[in-house]
A and B are shown apart, each in its own frame.
Chain A
Amino acid sequence: MHELSIAQNVLEIVSEQCTRSGHTKIDSVNLRIGRASGIMPDALIFAFDAIKSDSIARDAVLNIEEIPVTGLCNDCSHSFIVQEEYILNCPACKGSSFQIRSGRELDIIDMEVS
Chain B
Amino acid sequence: MKVKVVTKILEANERIARENRRLFDNAALFVINLMSGPGAGKTSILEKTLTLKTGLRIGVIEGDIAGSDDAERIEKHGAPVVQINTGGACHLDANMIHEVLQDLPLQDLDLLFIENVGNLVCPAEFKVGEDIKVMVLSIAEGHDKPLKYPLMFQESSALLLNKIDLAPYLDVDINKIKKDALSLNPGLKIFEISCKTGEGLSAWTDWLKEKALRS
Contacts and interface: CB of A to CB of B under 8 A. Distances in A.
B55 interface: no
A67 B121 CA distance: 18
Interface in B120-165: 121-122, 125, 144, 147-148, 150-151, 154
A96 B180 contact: yes
A21 B9 CA distance: 19
B6 A38 contact: no
B183 A96 contact: yes
Residues of B contacting A: mostly: mixed
A1 B10 contact: no
Contacts of A78: none
A21 B3 contact: yes
B115 interface: no
A18 B5 CA distance: 10
A9 B150 CA distance: 24
B13 to A, nearest CB: 7
Interface string A73-113: 00000000000011110000000111010001011111111
B6 A109 contact: yes
Contacts of B2: 110-113
A104 B12 CA distance: 17
A5 B3 contact: no
Contact of A110 (B6, B12, B13): B6
A21 to B, nearest CB: 5
| B: contact size bracket | 20 to 34
For the complex of A and B, list the 9 residue pairs with the smallest distance between their C-beta atoms, beginning with the closest: A96-B183, A2-B122, A38-B121, A108-B5, A106-B9, A86-B147, A97-B183, A38-B122, A9-B9
Given A17-B7, A112-B2, 11 more contacts: A9-B10, A9-B12, A9-B13, A12-B12, A13-B11, A23-B1, A97-B183, A98-B183, A106-B10, A107-B8, A108-B5
23 contacts: A1-B88, A2-B90, A5-B91, A9-B9, A13-B5, A13-B11, A17-B3, A17-B5, A36-B151, A38-B125, A87-B150, A87-B184, A96-B180, A97-B183, A106-B8, A109-B5, A110-B3, A110-B4, A110-B5, A110-B6, A111-B5, A112-B1, A113-B2
Interface of A: 1-2, 4-6, 9-10, 12-14, 17-18, 21, 23, 29, 31, 36-38, 85-88, 96-98, 100, 104, 106-114
